[in-house]
Amino acid sequence: MPGRFRFTLQPLLDQRAYAEERRRLEFARCRGRRDEVCGALDRLIAARAAFARDPRTCDAYSHPLERAIARRRGQLEDARFALERAREQLVGALTARRVLERLKERRRALWDALEAREAERELDESNAVRRPRRS
């Protein structure tokens, strides 16, 4: 009777879980960067609206604000692109780990079935030894 269940691909599964965690952290970092840039853009747009109400400051600050807003919009687009790429990599890492998890579950179920069959066979043998059949 075999000992305990041992999944031979466990080191690979562990490596994929580690890679998934790295991808998850990268995704969180990209999402934080996107949120940061989005907040800065919102503040610049609010400042432009505030300066637009005062004709004395409108001309003095409109050009630098417009340039800053354009720069932030470019950064926001870059951040969104990086976030999407990180999301795709995270999904790939999740899929790679899940494939191995399913394989491990199937092999575990097969091992459990073999264990049950072996235990039943041993029980049948011990019963046959105790009570010999009458002819």
Q: How do the pLDDT tens digits run along the chain, 135 residues long? A: 458 999 999 999 999 999 999 999 999 999 999 999 999 999 999 988 877 777 666 566 678 888 999 999 999 999 999 999 999 999 999 999 999 999 999 999 999 999 999 989 988 888 777 666 665
Q: DSSP for 83-131?
A: HHHHHHHHHHHHHHHHHHHHHHHHHHHHHHHHHHHHHHHHHHHHHHHHS
